Amino acid sequence: MKGLLIKEFYSVKTLAKQYLVVIVAMGVWCGFVKNPSFFPMIMSMYGAMTILTSMSYDEMVHFDKFEMTLPLSRSQVVISKYLLLGILVLIGGAVGMAGDFLIRTAVSGIKGDLWEDFISSCAVVAFFLLAFSILLPITFKMGVEKARMVLVVIYFLLFGGLYVAASFLGGLDGEQVGVFIMTGGSPALFIAGTLVFAAAVMFVSCMISVGIMKKREW
């Protein structure tokens, strides 16, 4: 398992310069328009998308077949991908939260609220963990290229669900829903609830993916 994760991070390392350019470019853009609210979402999304890049590399060099000859169980192969997903999305969320706070404070002239940024980042992290937990079993079943097309549908359905939820809250827009949650409910409960729900979905998704991999013929 440790060896698989090391191999994954070596693959991710090749994208480091590209991601650094994206971080700087997005930071400059958010500072220019004085609206850093998209920064955590972009960083978390890039973290999540890296899992597809990793799996695409595996398919391209046929490592997904080679690793089946190693002293590894198929469960370990699947779990390593989910661990990578969780780690990268959390890192993306942390970078996004820090960037959001710094841009608000240093560039936009708005006093940053670290607690508010933390709550928003947790919601974003939970969203992408949920989206890619739905996607990964499809990826193991159908391959990366077909999964990329399915991801668009998943985003559409999830954003549609959020829109419907906002309508049930009285037709509030996204920003007002966030304010409603943070003022009308318990922020700590909101954070715990979203992350626990995302973790539960990831666990179920992982079990489904393990089942798919055990039945897969090479």
Indicate whether 16 pLDDT > 60. Answer: yes
What's residue 38's pLDDT? 77
What's residue 205's pLDDT? 92
Can you tell me the distance from the alpha carbon of 204 to that of 218, in angstroms, rounded to the nearest whole number? Answer: 24
Q: What is the pLDDT of residues 165-191, one digit of tens each?
A: 656 655 444 444 444 444 445 666 767
Which pTM value belongs to this model? 0.78
Which one has a higher pLDDT value, 95 or 17?
Answer: 95
| Tokens encoding 206 | 């992982």
Q: How confident is the model at residue 208 (pLDDT cuts 50, 70, 90)?
A: very high
In this structure, the number of other CB atoms found within 10 A of the CB of residue 73 comes to 14
| Tokens encoding 128 | 């992408």
| Closest to 85 (Cα-Cα) out of 121, 35, 49, 114 | 49
Q: How confident is the model at residue 207 (pLDDT cuts 50, 70, 90)?
A: very high
* DSSP characters over 18-62: HHHHHHHHHHHHHHHHT-GGGHHHHHHHHHHHHHHHHHHHHHHTT
Q: Strand, coil or helix: what is 143? A: coil
Can you tell me the distance from the alpha carbon of 199 to that of 151, in angstroms, rounded to the nearest whole number? Answer: 19
Q: What is the pLDDT of residues 105-139, one digit of tens each?
A: 776 566 656 677 777 778 888 888 888 999 999 98
Indicate whether 204 pLDDT > 90. Answer: yes
Can you tell me the distance from the alpha carbon of 42 to that of 37, in angstroms, rounded to the nearest whole number? Answer: 10
Can you tell me the distance from the alpha carbon of 26 to that of 45, in angstroms, rounded to the nearest whole number? Answer: 13
